[in-house]
């Protein structure tokens, strides 16, 4: 029995981490084993990213951050596949689409998207989600939530960047809508389907969002086990 892979995507401050936890609880109430994970991971590369670069403690070109994110994801996908092979439901707070949005938000052109595909090709070809839930929240709401938190902001947590990243997400969705992508190295089309469902959450309370997510996510149980 192979497990199922569900990804939450969205801006910082969108509530995706909270909803990932709540969905884990909902599946566990059905007696299912769930592995909840995140990107950046708690591995050596992910820890370096959070403590040194995303925190702004060490200033570097964003291209370096994106390369490290892709490297962290390569390690992550092996862990994800181990749990899927064991029959678990895997829920991840961010995955490949974050790599696209954050790598292209300053210049979401087709060429930049192609470069990002090449950087994330191993993760894409080894493990694609059964469901991606994009929690769409107005960036002004997200920044208000971020500002209410204790501690320092990460480097992407400004209103201007959040607005650009949101646009980059939708550009990425359009990029993947073709269903296939030409892989130069293998000289063939690669099938890609992230199974994205967008939920507009601006005026909804967390319980309502949880209900909507459960109605969508529980359908994968029909093919589980």
Number of domains in the chain: 1
Question: Is 194 within the bounds of a domain?
Answer: yes
Q: How far is CA 62 from CA 54, 99, 104, 151, in A?
A: 10, 12, 10, 22
Residue 117 has pLDDT above 90, yes or no: no
Residue 95 DSSP SS3? coil
pLDDT reported for residue 191: 62
Residue 70 has pLDDT above 90, yes or no: yes
Question: Is 47 within the bounds of a domain?
Answer: no
Question: Is 63 within the bounds of a domain?
Answer: no
User: In the predicted model, what is the mean pLDDT of residues 129-141?
Assistant: 96
| Mean per-residue pLDDT over the chain, rounded | 89
Residue 215 has pLDDT above 90, yes or no: yes
* CA dist., res. 110 & res. 95, Å (int): 20
Q: Domain of 216? A: 4-38+83-223
Record the pTM: 0.92
The DSSP code sequence of 8-62 is: EEE-TTSSHHHHHHHHHHHHHHTT--EEEEESS-SSHHHHHIIIIIITSSS---H
- Give the CATH number, domain containing residue 145: 3.40.50.300
Question: Is 213 within the bounds of a domain?
Answer: yes
> Nearest-CA neighbor of 172 among 216, 115, 127?
115
Question: What's the number of CA atoms in the CB half-sphere (13 Å) around residue 44?
Answer: 0
Residue 110 has pLDDT above 80, yes or no: no
> 174 and 101 in contact (C-beta within 8 Å)?
no
Residue 83 has pLDDT above 80, yes or no: yes
Question: Is 95 within the bounds of a domain?
Answer: yes
Question: Is 78 within the bounds of a domain?
Answer: no
Residue 149 DSSP SS3? coil
Question: What's the number of CA atoms in the CB half-sphere (13 Å) around residue 160?
Answer: 2
Question: Is 104 within the bounds of a domain?
Answer: yes
pLDDT reported for residue 186: 56
> Nearest-CA neighbor of 92 among 142, 152, 34, 145?
34
Question: Is 56 within the bounds of a domain?
Answer: no
User: In the predicted model, what is the mean pLDDT of residues 123-136?
Assistant: 93
If pLDDT is split at 50, 70 and 90, which confidence band does 61 have?
A: confident
pLDDT reported for residue 125: 86
Of the given ranges (35-39, 105-109, 172-176), which has the lowest mean pLDDT? Answer: 105-109
């Amino acid at each position: 029995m192979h497990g199922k892979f569900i990804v939450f995507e969205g801006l910082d401050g969108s509530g995706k981490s909270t909803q990932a936890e709540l969905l884990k609880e909902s599946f566990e109430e059905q007696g299912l084993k769930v592995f909840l994970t995140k990107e950046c991971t708690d591995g050596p590369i992910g820890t370096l990213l959070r403590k040194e670069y995303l925190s702004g403690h060490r200033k570097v070109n964003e291209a370096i951050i994106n390369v490290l994110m892709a490297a962290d994801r390569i390690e992550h996908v092996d862990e994800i596949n181990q749990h899927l092979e064991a029959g678990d439901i895997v829920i991840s707070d961010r995955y490949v689409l974050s790599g696209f949005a954050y790598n292209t938000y300053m210049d979401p052109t087709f060429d930049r998207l192609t470069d990002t595909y090449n950087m994330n090709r191993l993760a894409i070809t080894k493990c694609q989600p059964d469901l991606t839930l994009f929690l769409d929240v107005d960036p002004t709401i997200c920044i208000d939530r971020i500002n209410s938190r204790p501690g320092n902001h990460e480097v992407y947590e400004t209103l201007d960047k959040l607005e650009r990243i949101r646009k980059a997400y939708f550009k990425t969705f359009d990029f993947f809508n073709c269903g296939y992508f030409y892989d130069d190295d293998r000289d063939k089309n690669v099938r890609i389907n992230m199974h994205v469902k967008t939920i507009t959450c601006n005026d909804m309370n967390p319980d309502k969002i949880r209900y909507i997510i459960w109605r969508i996510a529980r359908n994968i149980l029909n093919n589980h086990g």
